[in-house]
Amino acid sequence: MIPPTTNSLGIFGELPVDLLSSVCRHLPMVDVVTVSMLDSRLGGFVERIIYREIKALRVEVHDNDYSVYFINKDSRVTNLNLTGCDWEDVIKYGTCIEKLELNICPGKSTSQLFQTIKRASFTLRSLKINVLAGADKCVQKMKNLEKRCFDLVSRHSSSLRHLELSTSDEQHVYADLNIATSSMRLTYHQPAEPKPSEQTRHGQNHSFMYIMFHDYLNHHTISNVTLEIASKYDANLALQKAYQAALPHSRRRFLESLTIEFGNSLKAVTEEEMKRVLLCHVDEFHHTTPNLQHFHCSLPHDENFQIDLSQEFLALLNEPVRKTRQSKSSCPYNSTISLRAVRCQ
């Protein structure tokens, strides 16, 4: 009598696929990698099934953490240390990854990380980049990080629907596009006024943000834009920066509707100052949007901040555009203002 064939993996190797899947789903990623190396059958199983259940990555590259976190479709989170090399294969076979979050100190090495992400075959729909403090004495490393981020955004620009950037000086910008990429909501958080010693870094971070969002938005034709602006000191400057980031000059001809929503931190802005901000904005920028038909501004409103909504002011707001649209074939244009009751900060 011929003895039965024994599996070198014992009972574990005899498990049916559904039970083996259940076991692997509850293992730390380091153990999943170990299972994948036991034999070729298990390796193929892990690559085809387990790694493809990963939906998001969060990467931490700083003094407190040096890891990549894997978020599964059931929201379970596990991680691997970046000092090893096992994480590269996990990313390679994680073809269903849609979200990526990078929390990076520019002083740390990121070359291998970005090369691995570049070789991966997943398609991103959401990308968050948080540049942490630590670049003051690492100028070249900061430039390298910026270039790698630009390349990453460019590579996934057609599929991305959420792009977010935060910098060490608390500049925070994120854009959400609808499925058809015809509408966008861009939120711009302007930090407190930088000190003289911080001006250079502040300007460099803004330039980083400006180039990144233009690289992304130049791939899309957006006709409906909403700008949400949180300004801690200069409302006019915040509006300029948000508008310029959201609307690359080459894409402005496609704009048909623009809504600006100021946050609740406008308590230091007087009615006259707010009027000047809006009039200057329309006068400076709206002649570059020949197909803009509707401009709307939403302002916070309480007993300390009110604005006159008279027809005379709205006529002034429309005048700069109407002067540039004398032809009968010009698009119609009108502007409106609304107030929302809040307790201003």
Neighbours of 147 (CB within 10 A): 11
Does residue 141 form part of some domain?
yes
Does residue 312 form part of some domain?
yes
Q: Are residues 109 and 177 in the same domain?
A: no
**Residue type (1 letter), 279:** L
Q: Are residues 138 and 187 in the same domain?
A: no
pLDDT at residue 17 in the model: 63
Q: What is the pLDDT of residues 8-43, one digit of tens each?
A: 455 555 666 667 777 777 888 898 888 888 778 778
Buried b (16+ CB within 10 A) or exposed e, 220-250: bebbbbbbbbbbbeebbebbbbbbebbbbee
Please, where are the H alpha helices in the chain? 17-25, 29-36, 40-45, 86-93, 111-119, 139-156, 199-217, 235-246, 271-285, 311-324
Q: Are residues 146 and 80 in the same domain?
A: yes
DSSP structure string for 263-326: -S--TT--HHHHHHHHHHHHHHHGGG-TT--EEEEEEEEBTTB-----HHHHHHHHHHHHHH--
Q: Are residues 64 and 124 in the same domain?
A: yes
Contact 79, 67 (CB under 8 A): yes
Neighbours of 15 (CB within 10 A): 15
Q: Which two tokens stand for residue 200?
A: 């250079």
pLDDT at residue 150 in the model: 97
Does residue 3 form part of some domain?
no
Neighbours of 95 (CB within 10 A): 15
Which residue range(s) make up the domain with 208?
168-344
Q: Are residues 151 and 175 in the same domain?
A: no
Q: Are residues 109 and 239 in the same domain?
A: no
Q: Are residues 272 and 318 in the same domain?
A: yes
**Residue type (1 letter), 29:** M
Query: What is the tally of structural domains in the chain?
Result: 2
pLDDT at residue 165 in the model: 97
Contact 231, 266 (CB under 8 A): yes
pLDDT at residue 292 in the model: 94
Q: Which two tokens stand for residue 320?
A: 């700069």
From first to last of its 345 residues, what are the pLDDT tens digits of the chain? 334 444 445 555 566 666 777 777 788 889 888 888 877 877 888 888 889 999 999 999 998 899 999 999 989 999 999 998 899 999 999 999 999 999 999 989 899 999 999 999 999 999 999 999 875 567 888 899 999 999 999 999 999 999 999 998 889 999 999 999 999 999 999 888 888 888 888 888 999 999 999 999 999 999 999 999 987 778 888 999 999 999 999 999 999 999 999 887 665 677 788 888 999 999 999 989 999 999 999 888 766 666 766 788 888 888 888 888 877 777 888 888 888 766 544
Q: Are residues 230 and 304 in the same domain?
A: yes
Q: Are residues 188 and 326 in the same domain?
A: yes
pLDDT at residue 2 in the model: 39
Look at residues 107, 132, 160 and tell me which one is the last residue of a structural domain. Answer: 160
Does residue 156 form part of some domain?
yes
Q: Are residues 139 and 79 in the same domain?
A: yes
Does residue 1 form part of some domain?
no
Q: Are residues 145 and 24 in the same domain?
A: yes
Q: Are residues 172 and 318 in the same domain?
A: yes
Look at residues 160, 179, 205 and tell me which one is the last residue of a structural domain. Answer: 160
Does residue 215 form part of some domain?
yes
Look at residues 128, 160, 192 and tell me which one is the last residue of a structural domain. Answer: 160
**C-alpha span between 239 and 225 (Å, rounded):** 13
Does residue 7 form part of some domain?
no
